[in-house]
A and B are shown apart, each in its own frame.
Chain A
């Protein structure tokens, strides 16, 4: 997830210029207005974004200030130190009033349940959200976060490299076998060109998409068992596949220390296919890549499954101005604000319909994948998942460096069992 955060940052750095230009102008008058009205209330809002994505958030905050005279929104950009600073804030009972949130199992005890707010407030229009998005912010049936943006993951392909290799563009419904054949065909070591890029350090969260697609998962649905799940034949197979592609030269390891990121290599036209969320899309276009998107390949005879990356907004339990905080959250997920967020996908159906995003062939796969994102990710199923994931991540990394997936996963299960007792 950390990786994801930095990806958001990277991607939006390049894409948000237009929006910030739009949002910036109207605001300069607001601060003087607020200053005139006597006592100013300060609302603290913590975000993990930086760069232009942060700029969008600051612009939304300024609009809020304009609409609510006497209020100042202090946007606190924690960037890579988000978890540390947030945890420290909670520990010192001095957290920000409103914050970005994804890791609900870790933090929900310190967050304000939002069910009563959302059901009593018609303005929110909760029916308008994609319903699947709320699953991520719910713990024990209580809602702790309101979705603000999300993305699913797709396969990007470089049309020029496909044309050069005389390979037809991939279509939804393709299989991993086809994927591997294409990758092999489009690899040319002498040109340092590869069919696919495999991350040296994978976020196991993202890999769940492949594992689910192969009919397995990292953890049982009740969150109690990993033996036979994390090390099942299907799980091992879907991870081994990536390691094998690195080994046979049809994929290159990316994003290790001192290595270029996969986004950069794709931009340089040196990999034909790349799997990611929506974050780098704009930067691919800016880099002049003729890019196509297609859904994740399938394992034969099994349905493709997707995984969601979501940014939600939460209110701290210790906040002293929860009503104001709620106003801000509501404002933040209003149609106007959501339209300003170009770095990820709109959470409201009405905005999507208005912008016709799901009609655009480039965007359509994200929504197909959204329909396929019905599985519950492991971190929501067991509060100790972070600990298990520490072993799992190490195992996955080992596979990318050539180890046998089944063996290292068996070991990871053995080393993790103690957390599940």
Chain B
């Protein structure tokens, strides 16, 4: 009976049939990626959307849940001095950390790129800190920075400087945090190293034929050639800077006097110390917006300063690169 009904429906069904068959034949690839899709939906997208929803609620863990619209967001901007404090601390940290991070990682990568004996050993040595978990790293640095017993102040005392109690000094604790954060940057260094290795040798040859010295080569060949790598590292650095939590939590606990009270920590405390889940979710979404817009700005600006293979910009220096590329072809 169903068949007669289908026949009555006529042509469209006849047309659909083969398509449907083909679609079923296509299920296998989806099965292969199903575990990932499932994980993404259940453990990433689901919680993400859920956090967006609860950001519109007053949502304590114990007690009554109440819809308050944009109340959380309004409170954040108008009524909570800690929000501004923590945001300020994070911006300061990012402003110090991001450029330093890129310079240090690039510097190490350039050193490793030299053809010297034992570069593999150095590569391993420089990478080791990234293998250490954040907690262990924090423990190490808390000893290094210790005011009375720290090795840093011991070295300083050798050259006659009485070092501060780094982690308990509101002037120095943020700097201490930046330095400790820089230490675990092995992966960024490796990405730079890969970028450096990818620069064709003949570019340098032609540059030196044209009379460019080492420094000129660095700024006119090396830097432009690795701008895509710089772009990538810049964005990941910015994101990492805004998410910095482990070190703050373990090294200073946000102190002294909120000098290292990062935005991520503020968010964490709202959620897991004061149990204001809705408010914390609103904090998180605001951070997401900040990171998103910063990333967008960097991407937009990259059109002006990032060079992909053989690309020419109006900048006259780039002729060098363009010529090199052609010759190598």
A-to-B contact residues, CB < 8 Å: 83-84, 87-88, 90-91, 106-107, 109-110, 200-201, 253, 256-260, 386-387, 390, 394, 397-398, 401, 403, 415, 418
Contacts and interface: CB of A to CB of B under 8 A. Distances in A.
Contacts of A397: 255-257
A39 B167 CA distance: 55
Contact of A87 (B61, B145, B148, B165): B61
A401 B62 contact: no
Interface string B69-100: 00000000001011000000000000000000
A253 B255 contact: no
Interface in B140-176: 142-143, 145-148, 150, 165-168, 170
B62 A259 contact: no
B272 interface: yes
A148 to B, nearest CB: 22
A386 B270 CA distance: 11
Contact of A418 (B79, B148, B168, B251): B79
B62 A258 contact: no
Contact of A91 (B61, B166, B258): B61
Contacts of B145: 258
Contact of B61 (A90, A260, A386): A90
Contacts of B82: 390
B78 to A, nearest CB: 10
A398 B273 CA distance: 21
Given A90-B62, A106-B62, A390-B82, A257 B257 contact: no
A64 B153 CA distance: 54
Given A257-B142, A257-B255, A397-B255, 8 more contacts: A87-B61, A88-B61, A200-B168, A257-B251, A258-B146, A259-B147, A260-B148, A418-B79
B327 to A, nearest CB: 57
Given A87-B62, A91-B61, A259 B275 contact: no
Given A390-B82, A394-B258, A397-B255, A259 B168 contact: yes
A259 B147 CA distance: 7
Contact of B168 (A84, A90, A256): A256
Among B142, B145, B252, B256, find the residue whose CB has the most chain A CB atoms closer than 10 A: B256
A401 B172 CA distance: 14
B274 interface: yes
Contacts of B211: none
Interface in B119-155: 142-143, 145-148, 150
Interface residues of B, number: 29
Interface in B243-281: 251-253, 255-258, 272-275
Contacts of B274: 386-387, 390
Interface of B: 61-63, 79, 81-82, 142-143, 145-148, 150, 165-168, 170, 251-253, 255-258, 272-275
A415 B168 contact: no
B245 to A, nearest CB: 15
Contacts of A403: 257
A10 B257 CA distance: 26
Among A109, A258, A397, find the residue whose CB has the most chain B CB atoms closer than 10 A: A258
Among B62, B82, B148, find the residue whose CB has the most chain A CB atoms closer than 10 A: B62
7 contacts: A109-B62, A201-B253, A201-B255, A257-B253, A260-B148, A394-B257, A401-B257
Contacts of A398: 257
A107 B148 CA distance: 41
Contacts of B275: 83, 87, 106
Contacts of B62: 87, 90-91, 106-107, 109-110
Contacts of A258: 142-143, 145-147, 150, 165-168
Among B79, B168, B252, find the residue whose CB has the most chain A CB atoms closer than 10 A: B168
Given A394-B257, A398-B257, A257 B61 contact: no
Nearest to A394: B258
A259 B268 CA distance: 24
Nearest to B258: A394
A200 B81 contact: no
A343 to B, nearest CB: 25
Nearest to A389: B274
A96 B147 CA distance: 42
A109 B62 CA distance: 8
B168 A253 contact: yes
Contacts of B258: 394
A83 B274 CA distance: 10
A87 B62 CA distance: 6
A83 B275 CA distance: 9
Contacts of A387: 274
A200 B147 CA distance: 14
B236 to A, nearest CB: 28
A257 B272 contact: no
A64 B262 CA distance: 47
Contacts of B257: 394, 397-398, 401, 403
A387 B81 CA distance: 12
Contacts of A87: 61-62, 275
Q: Which 6 A-B pairs have the closest CB atoms?
A: A258-B146, A257-B167, A87-B61, A256-B168, A91-B61, A258-B142
Contacts of A394: 257-258
A418 B61 CA distance: 22
Nearest to A81: B272
B134 to A, nearest CB: 16
Nearest to B173: A257
A256 B79 contact: no
B262 to A, nearest CB: 15
B79 A257 contact: no
A109 B61 CA distance: 12
Nearest to B143: A258
B275 to A, nearest CB: 6
Nearest to A414: B81
A109 B63 contact: yes
A42 to B, nearest CB: 24
Nearest to A108: B62
A83 B256 CA distance: 24
Given A258-B150, A259-B168, A200 B256 contact: yes
A391 to B, nearest CB: 8
Contacts of A418: 79
A418 B79 CA distance: 8
A257 B145 CA distance: 9
A415 B143 CA distance: 35
